[in-house]
Chains A and B, each alone.
Chain A
Amino acid sequence: MAIRNELFKGTLQTIILNLLEENGRMYGYEITQKVKTITQGDLLLKEGALYPALHKLEAEGLLETMVEVVDNRVRKYYLLSEEGKTEVVSKLQEAREFINNLQLLLNLKPQLK
């Protein structure tokens, strides 16, 4: 069952930061495909939402970028900055606490077990 994208909009930055922490550096299309693979297609991260989020994280200094020429075209890779490496820890902690509270509020725990 596909999950409505509105549900994960608030955690989009955390998802991106976490993926980059696990994978080192990634380019835009790779991120969308990784999300699709991990969630088995339940979550579809649209490029219209991904790129503004990446640019915002870059502007906040949490991401750095590097370009490489691949198959005669320029590919822009995103990677965590030093500040981003610190931020990902607190963002994940924040997300965990939010999920715990959500489980309590929506009584989801029995289903999750």
Chain B
Amino acid sequence: MILTETQKTEIREFIGTVPKYQETYDELYDHILSSLGTLENENYNIDLVARIVNQDFGGFKKIVCVEADYNKQAMKNVMRDLRQEMKQQFYFPELWKTLIILALCVIIYNYSSGDFKVIRIIFGSVMLASFTPMVYYWGNRLLFKKKGSRPSIKDGGFAQQSMMLMQVAYAPFFIFIDKDALLQVTYPTALIVTLFMFFFSSIYIRSYFRLYNRNVKILLSR
């Protein structure tokens, strides 16, 4: 069966309100069109689409349930993929950038003045940078919403991970760096903690952006 554009639009409208996420919608739509494409002796009717949805997928309710389960798994996938992406920063071609950051840390450590102000400035920049994944995520999210795109199934995972660095970055500041820090440490120790956070946040932010662009931005910007 060859479908006209009007018939395809009718199918899109029929299934359009059910899947919440772009991936589920794409998979359902492709499945229905593939299925209809193999029917040779039947004329198109929207009831045929309803039959496919009910018989093959178990109805719209079942699709919603499957999507909810998929969403939970996708959250875990984002965490796993982000860890994997962070490991990739230690392999070529990304290793070059990591080595440059590491070299910068070594230079700062060897040539710093011994003034705690320097540490607070570096740590302040780390804390500011920790907001960038969240700003990037919500900026793109609003952009896609404006364009009328559905959210990606991975959106929840990316939203969760966009806040992770903020949570991680603040604790060492109040433990080691702040004027009223819980632990009073020597300048070199405080500098090592600061540079470690600087290094870690650079790895995290680069990994987050790369993974987001590969998974969500490309998918939703079509």
Could you tell me which A residues sit within 8 Å of B by CB distance? 27-30, 32-33, 46-48, 51-52, 55-56, 58-59, 61, 67, 69-71, 73-76
Contact = CB atoms under 8 A, between A and B. Distances in A.
B57 A76 contact: no
Nearest to A76: B27
Contacts of A58: 73, 77
Nearest to A55: B70
B125 interface: no
Interface of B: 23, 26-27, 29-31, 33-35, 38, 56-58, 62, 66, 69-70, 73-74, 76-77, 80, 219, 222
Given A29-B31, A59-B76, A76-B23, 13 more contacts: A27-B30, A27-B34, A46-B56, A48-B57, A48-B62, A52-B70, A56-B73, A58-B73, A67-B26, A71-B33, A73-B26, A74-B26, A74-B30
A69 B219 CA distance: 11
B88 to A, nearest CB: 14
A55 B73 contact: yes
A76 B100 CA distance: 38
Contacts of A55: 66, 69-70, 73
18 contacts: A27-B34, A29-B30, A30-B34, A46-B56, A46-B58, A47-B57, A48-B62, A51-B66, A52-B70, A56-B73, A58-B77, A59-B73, A59-B76, A59-B77, A71-B33, A74-B29, A74-B30, A76-B26
